[in-house]
Structure 1
Amino acid sequence: MHPTRVCRLGALRLSLLKRTQVRGSYRRLIHSGAQGNDQRKAYANSKIFKVSDEVREATETGKPVVALETTIYTHGFPYPDNVALATHLESVVRNNGGIPATIGVLNGVARVGLSEKELTELVNPSSNTELMKVSRRDLPFIAGLGLTGRKINGGTTIAGTMLLADLANIPVFGTGGLGGVHRGGENTMDVSADLQELGRTNVTVVSSGCKSFLDIPRTLEYLETQGVCVATFSDGRQGDIDFPAFWTRESGVPSPMVIQNAEEAAAIIHASELFRSNGMLFANPIPQEWALEKSKIDHAIEAAVTEAAEKGFHGHRNTPFILSRIKELTDGKSVPANRALVESNVAIATRVAVELAKLRRPELNTSALHTPVISASEFRYTKEAALYGVGKNESPETTSRPARTIPVQESSQTVKITSPQQKVDILVAGAVAVDVSCNYTPFDKSVDPQPLIHTSNPASISETTGGVGFNVATAAQYASKSNSVQLCSLIASDTAGQLALSAMDEFGLRSDGITTLAADANTKTAKYVAVNTTGNDLFVAMADMDILGGARDDFQLQWQNKIDSAKPKWVVVDANWHPSSFKQWITAASAAGAKVAFEPVSTAKSQVLFPQPSTAG
């Protein structure tokens, strides 16, 4: 290569690098609002802070991400119910069009985007690793000790989750109930760190208000002093709206502000970024069918709070004791109500994140994402520079390409909270898949109707949603409008999975039996490819059903509770499941008193489940 050209190309690259760095620094400074925040965010994926690949890619490309805490799993629900709840809440996020980012501390490392394996390790009581409840104050302690070799696990509180979510550039967080000013807090100074975190960390929290046993008026006063915007979703109500009280929709305390829907919430977040560097609280009332009777829950709260004071439960020991006593005093009714409100909050938080991503999408297409423009005085034409797409007689300005539009994962799906009285007549356990039909269309219509082998063939190709489980569920729903139908299946967070959810919505099928797994090289929504003759008769087909056919050990976590709550009259199981899962479906259905039907799918798959007995010797 000519030395002059090497020099000029080197200068071109250096100029590109400098301009990219300057623009990148400016964008990060604007995004974080302060240089200190920018420096802290530079520690992402260090020895003490890890962001999963899925979450990092989503935040970098403008996809909607929702933060989820882990204290609810480590200190709120027993094992393995906590793993089942965590998996379900992540599925709620995915079904509503978002990317879940479950946050916790594992072996001394703060993690944003825990995998299923990591989450199970975090909450499993058989683990010998020390477990803590982690707020802002605890993060340096637990991470620092991790550097010395002392490995500690931690479930993050709202405050701890907000801090880590902000470091990972996640603006929306769905959870259960906020901490607040405890009763008598004017004397004890027992005030949750959640409130101050909202006053200084740029994350919006969606919760069912604060926990009912707190001093709600003083909590709202404290948030007002911190400059925190507090608004309550109207949920179809008109006029003045109460700030919710966790297990009840009314608290007797008016909400400072009222919002109608996720679009308004997202618009407020979007607009507020010019004025603030703190958080916001959007209160979502518990679904009506799960709300507890106010007089009864108030009585239980009074008794639990009094008992806690008499027994000396203060600080971080206070809330777990009170929640445990309320569970006992309500005969366990507070627990399913807690699950329902968390699920509802996570669902609406995801819809807010989706709407926010839509509003931010134009900003992602600004010139900051373009190839930097180089002035004519800085540019010298060389053959090597031509490889970068700049012609000899072109100015760099004319070669700047428009920014690529970054897609935002959207979904019309809304996860509905199943009423405690709602049962299922027919439960179908089987595959939902994307069917790809390739109909052979030869140029010469007089040739053999079958496609040629070992070469490509002209065809008309179409995609539809199918799968044996989906087809059976759809047929059952059409056959009898009086019978309720639920499809239980697995999909991945890929395009095919979104297509399947949209089709279920179009056909009126419930989606609360669908579990969405994070897509990767080994986890994909099922797909069936059929190659047909000119007469649309099947010539050959291929099916990738590994998402169901692989061996899994989580039947009790994923499916047992669905059968128990549905109490179906019929359970239809197809042959796409792994033999161990298939056996568990049959056993669980029989134990629930349901009639069982088998869909064989194909001869090959049926023989795997029911191998012919050996006739040897």
Structure 2
Amino acid sequence: MRLLGRAVGRPRLPQRSTVPFTANCRRHLTNNGFFRVSEEVREALHAKRPVVALETTIYTHGFPYPENVALASLLESVVRVNGGVPATIGILDGVARVGMGAEELIRLTESAGKQSTLKLSRRDLGYVCGLRLTGKNFNGGTTIAGTMLLAHLAGIKIFGTGGLGGVHRGAESTMDISADLTELGRTPVTVVSSGCKSFLDIPRTLEYLETEGVGVGTFADGRSGSVDFPAFWSRDSGVKSPTTIENEIEAAAIIHAQHSLQISSGLLFANPVPVEAAISKEAMDSVIAEAVRQADASGASGKDNTPFILNKIKELTKGKSIPANRALIESNVKRAAIVARELAVLEDQQEEAQGHAISHFIPAMSDSPMVPQRNSRIATPSPESAVPSTPSISKPADVIVAGALAVDFSCDFAPILGSSDQKDPSLHTSNPAVINQTLGGVGHNIARAIHLLGPSVQLCSTVGDDLSGRAALSQLETESMQTSGIRTLPSPNRTAQYVAVNNAHKDLTIAMADMSILESSSPSSITTTWLNSLSMTHQTPKYVIVDANWTSECLHTWLAYARSINATTIFEPVSTAKSTRLLHSPTSNDSLTMPIVSIATPNTHELIALHNHAYEHSLFNSASWFRTIDALGIPSSGLRVPLAHTTSPALVDTGIPQQAIKLLPFIPTILTKLGPDGVLLTQVLRSDDDALSSADEAPYVLARNTNGDTKSRVGGLYVRLYRPEKVLGEGEVVSVNGIGDTFVGALAAGLASGRQVRDVIGFAQKAAGLSLRSRESVSPELVHLRGDLSR
């Protein structure tokens, strides 16, 4: 697919105010019992970052499991690589979800083909959501119409998909017209597709869209003059497109004008299938004619007509339609992400012109026009705003922690004696509760644990110039922690906040997080704000810990700094959605430095997300990856039996140890947190490691380097499951917030005291157990463990 082949000037925006618009003057829908927007998507929309909606009928009714899982992962990755945030939309257990996590996507894709998994358009949403109240829980993939509606309710403007529904042949008698067309006529969402399915009546489809007031344009894709509206598998249909769009910048300008004019209909941007995957119009015309003939003969009509014809086309093309289908979907999603990015640029410029913005997009220039780079959002104050404070890092630190600092609110449901529900709070009303406010955030919690255990630590984070920010700085001083690494940003930046609503058993019911302030940093601001100060004070910390709340570019900036001073790096993944930022290179996956980070501390879901991302992006195919894996000396018979002995058969059945081993070339030490089952250590042993000659460690050394490769310095493979000394009962657990962070902080404190990873894990588990019994995210009792490190 051709992208921007030459520099294109962005249009100048009118210098006048515009009113934020929602159709019918309706506000965007907030989360409720029927509708839920993921934390990542909400944060992105709030920060005005590019968001692209993705449908799910392609997973539930298009591709079988597990091919649909691979496709879902691929399309989300395409959005991320091109600078956007994916919002996959579907129905799980009768709840409409905008932005689905890895576990949710797997649940939905696994349900493909089941009777309770439905194909859902606008008309079906009330039915499937309403029946949830009667105990009937349905899963479903949303069609283009259903996805458009839910995307609009969340505030998403751009949607990338495969092919649009349309007017069926013979519709003058059957009235078979896709709801996608009427949805485009009443919902202000832009759809990027490869036109409509070519077995439909394309001229009548375009006529119907014109009647509905839908703007239709086709990307020139390097061609000059007027172009054909595409025919899905074919680039040409024989029908000229109403308009031609030169590039993504023109598309973004049209969308911006459409919303500024408060036009309540949508836009359809047709993106022709990539040349290398296209099937000629002549070849497809004969195939489609035969498929339609067989459909008529079989009586396949209504909702059964399209699946029947698609299956016949697959048969008649001998499977050639499938790779074309995949290629065009990927191309459309990529185009949608770049359009969303350019729209964010225009909207940001408009706000800046009105004096409303404190940040703007700086387009990243690429040496190759075929590989657009993700824009970075850099915080800059408006003329009336105070200049952000730049921390001056003065006191030398053994450990640098770069991550989130937030104000946490814990709301524990406290039912009134005699009430009907003694466990869960009620929705849509006020509930009695015990509310506690503490200082939190992943970065802060890790740094506080280290501070309580003794080593000197410096937290590098951001707060807003607001009441919460000032309270956070005051609390850090009260805790005797350094505040010189905290950057204060001017209004309207807000200090990160996390609100957890727990039931009467202290189990999480729902949580809300506003962590967008960390996203305002850029690689250049990290360098000027923190790294220059560290350099000027000649600080050389032994350990640098980074959490995944930073953007991928910022994360790699911190890691590059750590490598430059030969510091050991520790990565805390934070969540499944954010964990894969580690495997996104600032330029391309080919330029990933291996190992990327010294130590990572994922939970099982985050480990799976990392593994799946590496697999989908072919990171397991590089020569450097093979070299490390080969040097481990894994026997040809495999490791299933020895893994079952050193961990457990049940754990091996889940594939967790095997996936961790595959990630070792990128992360040579992986500590997978298994909750009450303990911690799994998977580690590459260096050739000089004492464990290779230790009788006590021999049961855990599952492979040894026997290929004579001395350059890699790989000695073997170490795998060990560390079970906790005690599993706390339900009544003993006070709060689960910050347990993983405490573990990471204690791990770093142990390493800073001169111990090896495998000798510190038990100590870190003990520290995490103290926080389990504490109302605070990090137990103050950790200070009593200092003596354990001095022994």
- TM-score band (shorter)? 0.5 to 0.7
In 2, Cα distance between equivalents of 1:496 and 1:555: 14
Report Cα offsets for 1:476-532 as digits up to 9, x if no partner. Answer: xxxxxxxxxxxxxxx97842347769x99xxxxxxxxxxx9977676652799xxxx
TM normalised by structure 2 equals 0.51
Which one of the candidate residues 525, 538, 560 is aligned to 2:582? 525
Structure 1 residue 251: deviation in Å? 0.6
Matched letter for residue 288 of structure 2: I
Matched letter for residue 658 of structure 2: S
Could you tell me which residue of structure 1 aligns to residue 269 of structure 2? 282
Which one of the candidate residues 308, 320, 327 is aligned to 1:321? 308
Structure 1 residue 53: deviation in Å? 1.0
Matched letter for residue 172 of structure 2: E
Q: Number of matched residues? A: 458
Q: Any stretches of 5+ residues in structure 2 without a counterpart?
A: 1-16, 373-392, 398-454, 459-532, 539-546, 561-572, 586-595, 633-655, 665-682, 693-700, 705-715, 719-791
Conservation of the 8 A alpha-carbon contact between 1:527 and 1:545: no
Conservation of the 8 A alpha-carbon contact between 1:411 and 1:498: no
Please identify, of 567-576 and 321-330, the stretch whose mean Cα deviation from structure 2 is larger: 567-576
In 2, Cα distance between equivalents of 1:90 and 1:572: 26
Could you tell me which residue of structure 2 aligns to residue 32 of structure 1? 22
Quickly say closer, same or farther: Cα 1:257–1:517, change in 2 above 3 A. Answer: farther
Conservation of the 8 A alpha-carbon contact between 1:81 and 1:557: no
| Residue 572 (structure 1) aligned with residue 572 (structure 2) | no
Please identify, of 327-336 and 66-75, the stretch whose mean Cα deviation from structure 2 is larger: 327-336
Quickly say closer, same or farther: Cα 1:461–1:65, change in 2 above 3 A. Answer: farther
TM normalised by structure 1 equals 0.64
**1:528-567 correspondence runs (5 A):** 543-546=598-601, 552=607
Structure 1 residue 581: deviation in Å? 2.9
Matched letter for residue 31 of structure 1: F
In 2, Cα distance between equivalents of 1:525 and 1:568: 17
Secondary structure of the 2:598 match is strand
In 2, Cα distance between equivalents of 1:496 and 1:556: 17
Secondary structure of the 1:199 match is helix
Quickly say closer, same or farther: Cα 1:562–1:29, change in 2 above 3 A. Answer: closer
**1:115-264 correspondence runs (5 A):** 115-125=101-111, 130-264=116-250
| Residue 295 (structure 1) aligned with residue 298 (structure 2) | no
Report Cα offsets for 1:340-379 as digits up to 9, x if no partner. Answer: 100000001000000101111144458896xxxxxxxxxx
Quickly say closer, same or farther: Cα 1:550–1:153, change in 2 above 3 A. Answer: closer
**1:351-430 correspondence runs (5 A):** 351-364=338-351, 404-405=358-359
Quickly say closer, same or farther: Cα 1:190–1:573, change in 2 above 3 A. Answer: farther
Secondary structure of the 1:114 match is coil
In 2, Cα distance between equivalents of 1:414 and 1:139: 42
Matched letter for residue 525 of structure 1: L
| Residue 496 (structure 1) aligned with residue 552 (structure 2) | yes
Conservation of the 8 A alpha-carbon contact between 2:579 and 2:610: no
In 2, Cα distance between equivalents of 1:166 and 1:173: 10
| Residue 304 (structure 1) aligned with residue 291 (structure 2) | yes
Secondary structure of the 1:525 match is helix
**1:500-519 correspondence runs (5 A):** none
Structure 1 residue 34: deviation in Å? 2.6
Secondary structure of the 1:270 match is helix
Matched letter for residue 358 of structure 2: R
Conservation of the 8 A alpha-carbon contact between 1:232 and 1:243: yes
Matched letter for residue 626 of structure 2: V
| Residue 103 (structure 1) aligned with residue 157 (structure 2) | no
Conservation of the 8 A alpha-carbon contact between 1:574 and 1:601: no
Could you tell me which residue of structure 1 aligns to residue 438 of structure 2? none
In 2, Cα distance between equivalents of 1:112 and 1:613: 41
Conservation of the 8 A alpha-carbon contact between 1:98 and 1:409: no
Structure 1 residue 317: deviation in Å? 1.3
Matched letter for residue 356 of structure 1: L
Structure 1 residue 309: deviation in Å? 1.3
Conservation of the 8 A alpha-carbon contact between 2:21 and 2:262: no
In 2, Cα distance between equivalents of 1:328 and 1:285: 23
Could you tell me which residue of structure 1 aligns to residue 789 of structure 2? none
Conservation of the 8 A alpha-carbon contact between 1:122 and 1:154: yes
Secondary structure of the 2:331 match is helix
Quickly say closer, same or farther: Cα 1:227–1:558, change in 2 above 3 A. Answer: same
Structure 1 residue 83: deviation in Å? 0.8
Percent of counterpart pairs with the same letter? Answer: 48
Which one of the candidate residues 311, 328, 335 is aligned to 1:341? 328
Report Cα offsets for 1:80-127 as digits up to 9, x if no partner. Answer: 110111011001000000000000011001110011111111121389
Secondary structure of the 1:151 match is coil
Structure 1 residue 316: deviation in Å? 1.4
Please identify, of 97-106 and 266-275, the stretch whose mean Cα deviation from structure 2 is larger: 266-275
Could you tell me which residue of structure 2 aligns to residue 85 of structure 1? 71
In 2, Cα distance between equivalents of 1:524 and 1:174: 22
Matched letter for residue 311 of structure 1: S
Structure 1 residue 182: deviation in Å? 0.7
Quickly say closer, same or farther: Cα 1:493–1:206, change in 2 above 3 A. Answer: farther
In 2, Cα distance between equivalents of 1:128 and 1:151: 13
**1:444-523 correspondence runs (5 A):** 459=535, 494-497=550-553
Secondary structure of the 1:209 match is coil
Quickly say closer, same or farther: Cα 1:293–1:492, change in 2 above 3 A. Answer: farther
| Residue 112 (structure 1) aligned with residue 98 (structure 2) | yes
Matched letter for residue 333 of structure 1: K
In 1, Cα distance between equivalents of 2:117 and 2:130: 15
Structure 1 residue 302: deviation in Å? 1.2
Could you tell me which residue of structure 2 aligns to residue 468 of structure 1? none
Structure 1 residue 297: deviation in Å? 2.0
Report Cα offsets for 1:370-418 as digits up to 9, x if no partner. Answer: xxxxxxxxxxxxxxxxxxxxxxxxxxxxxxxxx532668979698879x
In 1, Cα distance between equivalents of 2:145 and 2:114: 26
Quickly say closer, same or farther: Cα 1:149–1:367, change in 2 above 3 A. Answer: farther
Structure 1 residue 51: deviation in Å? 0.6
**1:58-69 correspondence runs (5 A):** 58-69=44-55
Matched letter for residue 298 of structure 2: K
Quickly say closer, same or farther: Cα 1:409–1:62, change in 2 above 3 A. Answer: farther
Conservation of the 8 A alpha-carbon contact between 2:60 and 2:111: no
Report Cα offsets for 1:59-92 as digits up to 9, x if no partner. Answer: 1221110000000000000001101110110010
In 2, Cα distance between equivalents of 1:332 and 1:61: 43
Q: Any stretches of 5+ residues in structure 1 without a counterpart?
A: 1-26, 370-402, 418-437, 443-452, 463-490, 505-515, 529-540, 587-598
Conservation of the 8 A alpha-carbon contact between 1:64 and 1:350: yes
Could you tell me which residue of structure 2 aligns to residue 610 of structure 1? 703
What is the alpha-carbon root mean square deviation over aligned residues?
A: 4.5
Matched letter for residue 52 of structure 1: S
Quickly say closer, same or farther: Cα 1:492–1:205, change in 2 above 3 A. Answer: farther
Structure 1 residue 185: deviation in Å? 1.1
Could you tell me which residue of structure 1 aligns to residue 32 of structure 2? 46
Report Cα offsets for 1:416-445 as digits up to 9, x if no partner. Answer: 79xxxxxxxxxxxxxxxxxxxx9x999xxx
Could you tell me which residue of structure 1 aligns to residue 755 of structure 2? none
| Residue 581 (structure 1) aligned with residue 571 (structure 2) | no
Quickly say closer, same or farther: Cα 1:125–1:212, change in 2 above 3 A. Answer: same
Conservation of the 8 A alpha-carbon contact between 1:63 and 1:407: no
In 1, Cα distance between equivalents of 2:127 and 2:283: 41
In 1, Cα distance between equivalents of 2:74 and 2:176: 33
Conservation of the 8 A alpha-carbon contact between 2:344 and 2:361: no
In 2, Cα distance between equivalents of 1:517 and 1:316: 43
Conservation of the 8 A alpha-carbon contact between 2:59 and 2:141: yes
